[in-house]
Amino acid sequence: MTTLESLKETVKRELPAWLESDPSFREAILGLTANLYSRRDETNDWFHQTLEEMRRERERQDALWRKNDERLERERQEAERKWEEQNRKWEEQNRKWEANQAELKGLHEESLALGKRIDRGIGALGARWGLRSEQAFRDALAGILEKTFGVEVLNVSEYDDNGEVFGRPDQVEIDVLIKNGLLILCELKSSIDKAGMYTFERKARFYERRHERQANRLIVISPMIDSRAQDVARRLGIETYGEPEEVSH
């Protein structure tokens, strides 16, 4: 081992004791190494400065967090206000819609009731008009037959005790034409359907049994004869005419 290396080993070994026991030696060593290490006061200053910077940074972050929290709170309150306002609008719209529905329902019910009253009125008027127009039509046809063909037209009304015509006891009316000893049973109507044609045939047979006399002809005169009624008339041997002038002598 060289002398220099031996010296270094001795310094390393003995330096702690020298520094501890010799203040002047310690000061000398500190002076020599001052440029390599920070002094305690400088270290303390740096440490406090770092702490201060960290404190200021924390305060700045806290301020940012508070500002952000305040902004979020304002946004939450604004969203809540808008939601409540929208809810009020929806509730108002619902109330208006329900009121409109109730009003429309009332109008609809009133319209139905009015329609029913009108229908009943029209039905009653139609029934009265139908009876009057049917009688007027029959009277007109009877007048034409009497004037044009010189026949006697009788409107016979007899009570059917056994219900032969309508299935129960009721009054039966039939027009009877008499000319030169001929008996013609006739139905003078503004219109007649299939059921009406069958009814006329039953009325004619009822008259024949009641008076014990067979009719020479069965005639239906009507400007409106249902096609199915025409088929029934052909099967039952009933003559049909649309105008009284068409009736052959």
Q: Is 6 inside any structural domain?
A: no
If asked whether residues 195 and 169 sit together in one domain, one would say yes
If asked whether residues 156 and 239 sit together in one domain, one would say yes
pLDDT confidence of residue 122? 37
Which CATH number is 192's domain given?
3.40.1350.10
Instruction: Tell me how far apart the alpha carbons of residues 116 and 20 are, in angstroms, rounded to a whole number.
Output: 125
pLDDT confidence of residue 101? 81
Q: What's the pTM?
A: 0.45
φ, ψ of residue 73 in degrees (nearest 5)? -65, -45
Residues of the chain with pLDDT > 70: what percent? 73
Q: Domain boundary at 134, 159, 178, which?
A: 134
φ, ψ of residue 215 in degrees (nearest 5)? -70, 140
If asked whether residues 129 and 178 sit together in one domain, one would say no
If asked whether residues 76 and 162 sit together in one domain, one would say no
Q: Domain boundary at 134, 166, 187, which?
A: 134
What's the pLDDT band for 237 if we cut at 50, 70, 90?
very high
What is the maximal distance between C-alpha atoms in the chain?
184
φ, ψ of residue 154 in degrees (nearest 5)? -115, 135
Q: What is the pLDDT of residues 159-211, one digit of tens each?
A: 989 988 998 999 998 888 877 778 889 888 878 899 999 999 999 999 999 99
Instruction: Tell me how far apart the alpha carbons of residues 47 and 34 are, in angstroms, rounded to a whole number.
Output: 19
Q: Is 206 inside any structural domain?
A: yes
Per the structure, the complete domain to which residue 167 belongs is given by 151-246
pLDDT confidence of residue 49? 80
Provide CB contacts within 8 A for 149, sequence distance 6+: 179, 247, 249
**In degrees, to the nearest 5, what angle opens at C-alpha 137 toward C-alphas 201 and 223?**
65
Number of domains in the chain: 2
Q: Is 158 inside any structural domain?
A: yes
Q: What is the pLDDT of residues 130-140, one digit of tens each?
A: 445 666 666 76
